[in-house]
Amino acid sequence: MTPSVPDQQSVAAVLAAVADPETGRPLAEMGQVQSIAATANAIRVSVGLCSHSAILKQSTRGRIEELLRTRFPQVPVVDVEIVEHIRPPAKLGQIGLEAKSVIAVGSGKGGVGKSTIAACIALGLARAGSCVGLLDADVYGPSIPHLLGLTGRPEIENGKLQPMRYPTVLLEPATQTTVAHSMPVMSMGFLIPAGEAVVWRGPMLHGAITQMLRDTAWGQLDYLIIDMPPGTGDIALTLSQVLPLTGAVVVCTPQDVALLDATKAIAMFRKVNIPILGMVENMSFFMPPDSGKRYDIFGSGGAKRTAAELEIPFLGEVPIQIPIREHGDAGRTADNYIDPASRPYLETICERLVGNLAAAHAARPPMPSLPVL
């Protein structure tokens, strides 16, 4: 039987099976199929993705190409173009934050690299092209300013705190061009003198976190990443009360005591109805660059096993890397994405995080909050 010649209708039928990663609804239904051109020799389609899905741009293109090649194997050329599709975020909760996804990064105990992972997730999503904000909610021990090398005191304009701005660079693989962006960052570390201790009870913590969320000029965000204080405490409850969180990422090390505390953190998030988006195992192993031999200093694979037991996603591991520590100490955490030894681990975490969100949306599409523009 001779394969049929593709036309716009048959190509559109294939695209109908592809869900928008952000909404879980078919791309065509959301007005994101920009154009279709189909002949016996070539299929060319243009599909729009919002910046919320920027890190999935390559995988989405690959999936569409695979579907079209499978359906029309006789067509020699299949070209899929991904273009920008604009869809603004809705206002969230009682504070009116304009963000599509709010993700808390927590841990059961201190010293597991939670803030470093939070900063790296924010930077990874921003480098991919998403609009990202980073809130340091670790009021007692704010470390995000140091990790990013940011100093100064936020100004107030039109009644809003102006966040500090961290420059990020977006690399477009197709053209190898760079585009400058900036990521808004807010932390108690900008609001109190260096070295001064914060001695507050629960109501004051609640007020401070609410104020930084409500009174900061965040702009329109795809993601707000929140670096939580370690352990289980008032701030998770505050967040659950003032805005709907997309979920939480829990960071731990492989050793048993850290896993026990991480399990408590997971129980805390679940108790306040914050979904668990996954676990990250930091300091997974050490591999000296001069020997290539692996040392499991804190054990091996503990977070992955715990994630499986608790039926939550495992987002990835990050080995002990001397440059990661050096970059953080020097306020150059973004350089971890330049280091070829660290970058693949961090990019995997970001891609799995957004990929899991997309899969959840496809399985149960959220209700649209704004009309498609």
Maximum separation of any 2 CA atoms in the chain, in Å: 78
Cβ–Cβ under 8 Å, residues 249 and 122: no
Mean pLDDT by 10 residues, the chain (373 residues): 75 93 92 94 96 95 96 95 94 89 89 94 95 91 92 91 84 48 90 67 76 93 93 75 91 83 87 92 84 78 86 94 94 93 95 95 66 38
CA dist list (Å): 123 to 169, 182, 352: 9, 10, 15
Q: At 146, is the secondary structure helix, strand, or coil?
A: helix
Question: What is d(CA 261, CA 231) in angstroms, rounded to the nearest whole number?
Answer: 8
Q: Where are the domains of the chain?
A: 8-84, 91-363
Phi-psi category of 277—alpha, beta or left, where left has phi over 0 and alpha has psi -120 to 50?
alpha
Kindly give, in sequence order, each residue whose CB lies less than 8 Å from that of residue 290, ignoring residues fewer than 6 positions away.
none
Per-residue pLDDT at 196: 65
Question: What is d(CA 21, CA 365) in angstroms, rounded to the nearest whole number?
Answer: 10
Per-residue pLDDT at 303: 85
91-363 maps to which CATH number? 3.40.50.300
Q: At 282, is the secondary structure helix, strand, or coil?
A: strand
Residues in the chain: 373
Classified by CATH at the fold level, domain 8-84 comes out as GMP Synthetase; Chain A, domain 3 (3.30.300)
Of 363, 348, 372, whose CA–CA distance to 55 is shortest? 348
**Which tokens is 294 given?**
């692996």
Phi-psi category of 112—alpha, beta or left, where left has phi over 0 and alpha has psi -120 to 50?
alpha
Which pTM does this prediction carry? 0.90
Per-residue pLDDT at 373: 37
Point out which residues pair with 185 in neighbouring strands. 134, 164
**Which tokens is 330 given?**
């020097």
Kindly give, in sequence order, each residue whose CB lies less than 8 Å from that of residue 187, ignoring residues fewer than 6 positions away.
135, 136, 142, 144, 145, 164
